[in-house]
Every structure is written in C-alpha cells, then in structure tokens.
Amino acid sequence: MRLLQFIVFVTFTISAYTQSDTLDYKNYENHPTLTWNDFLVRPASDYTSKFAASVSTGLDFKWDYNIENAQQNFTYKVKACLYTSSSWVFEHKKDSTLLAHEQGHYDITELHARKLRMLISGYKLGRNIRKDLKVIYKNVESSRYKMQSAYDVETIHSKDREQQLLWDAKIDSLLQEYKIYK
C-alpha cells in the first residue's frame, strides 16, 4: 500500500511540475511592462463580465535543499509571472488607463515576489524546512491576494482616477522599498 501511495505521489508531483513548466508565461524580470499583446484570450462576443480586462499573475517559487559533505545547500528562485494565455481584454475597452491599472496588478505580484525573496533570504534552516517554507509562501500569497482585492475595490477597477493615482504612487514606493530584493 505504501509503495502505491509513493508511486501516486511521485506521478502527481511530476505531472504538477510538468504542467507548470509548460504554462505560457512571462516573468517580471524579463518582461516588466505589460502591453495589450500580453492579453492573449479574446472573449467571445457574447461573453459578459462586469470587468473590461483581467491580467493573470502569480508567484513561481522553487527551492532545493540537500546536505553534501556535511554542508547544507539551500537554493531558491522566486519569479513574478504573467500568464498570457489566461489574461483577457475586451477589444473595445482597451485604453491606456485600463492597461495602467492592469500593470498595477502585475506590479503588486512583483512586490510580493520581492517580499517572498526577503523572507526566504532571512530564513534560518531548521528541522521543518518544507513546512516552514510552505507557511512563508502561504502568508505572502495571502497578503498578495488581499492587496490585489483592495486595489480593485479602492480604485473601482481604475474608474476612481484619484484613488488610482494614490495606488500607483503606493505601489511604486513599495517597489522602491523592496528593490534590493529584485
């Protein structure tokens, strides 16, 4: 029974990594500025949504730990990702204000990638590495989700120009504050 559980676990893990590796994405380091060409999904003409566009972003966090010659080796990578094949816009709604708002969402993801890098760089290896890193990641993701939601609510999805300008300044300031973790 244990062997079967192990085979199922390994198979699931391999397919999960394979799927994530084949997703169509760009990362912030190589592609920090959005264009409308990044929104690959074209909603059907009868598609209804109260939103004009949606940018799909996320954090890619990979790490490795081993002990070799009595030496602990811990490496990690964190990327802010843009999933172009999940991002969409109504053609007739495209304008610079909306694109700037969607850029804010991407920038918030980059901000949280930097926060995750900061927390991981300060992490002291312990006995529960997997559990500890999972908690750190979940906390950062929770913070990212809350900030993304607050951004949309307070700016009314870019419609409140004054709030949008305040958020733009806030996001820029925070990116500068964490620029060492770029």
What is the Cα–Cα distance from 157 to 98, expressed in whole angstroms? 8
| Residue 23, pLDDT score | 61
Mean pLDDT within 79-102 = 96
DSSP 164-179: HHHHHHHHHHHHHHTG
| Residue 11, pLDDT score | 28
CB 155 within 8 A of CB 163: yes
What is the Cα–Cα distance from 87 to 95, expressed in whole angstroms? 16
Mean pLDDT within 20-48 = 85
CB 116 within 8 A of CB 61: yes
Q: Where are the domains of the chain?
A: 25-181
CB 171 within 8 A of CB 154: no
| Residue 20, pLDDT score | 43
| Residue 12, pLDDT score | 30
Which tens digit of pLDDT belongs to each residue from 165-182? 999 999 999 999 999 999
